[in-house]
Amino acid sequence: MQLPNLILASASPRRQELLHSAGISFEVIPSDVNEEMEEGETPEEHVIRLARLKALKVAEKHRSRWVLAADTIVVIDGRILGKPRDRREATGMLESLSGREHRVITGYCILHFSSGKCRQGIAVSRVRFKELSVEEVRWYLDTGEPFGKAGAYAIQGKAAFMVREVQGSYTNVVGLPLCEVIEALREMGDIAVHSQTTPVENPG
């Protein structure tokens, strides 16, 4: 069977679902990199650097194929909210987001190693939460959904009730700015977009 010419360098089921919903054929080959922020790095510089590193790590092993990688963060008061390590940290994140606006920033990179072609970009969305009661935070934590999610919430899941307003790309908040990424894929030229082929997952 011929493999798709696009590799998604991410294990995120949300990014996979977004690409699949757009009819894009791809193979999943996750890329692990150190996601710690470097000294003096802005949030925008951080997500672009990580997206590029993730793409490069996979592209070096698959030089004749296109690789798409992305990194998404939640930022409030200049502070990056990563994935909560425990219930206490998740509680603190949700309390800091309650009743306020925060930014969701995604950096993405599309890379073809052998040709040297590369396209990268950043999408920024603004999200405003309703005021969350203690009971609502406790209920949401009990669902288990906050864990493994940047900012301790999943807008496409049970956290939808928290969101009062989204300015900018909704899919960016989910994990991948689909409009911008598909436009970039089309402009790159050699990538199958809107194929009917079912995505192939590589468990390794």
What is the enclosing helix (H) or strand (E) of 174?
helix 170-174
Decide if 83 contacts 75 (C-beta within 8 A): no
Length of the chain measured in residues: 204
**Helix and strand totals (H; E) in the chain:** 6, 8
**Residue 86 appears among annotated catalytic residues:** no
Identified catalytic residue from 32, 71, 86, 190: 71
Strands, E assignment, 1-90: 6-8, 27-28, 66-76, 79-81
Decide if 28 contacts 202 (C-beta within 8 A): yes
Q: Phi-psi region for residue 147, left (φ > 0), alpha (ψ -120 to 50) or beta? A: beta
Catalytic positions are 71
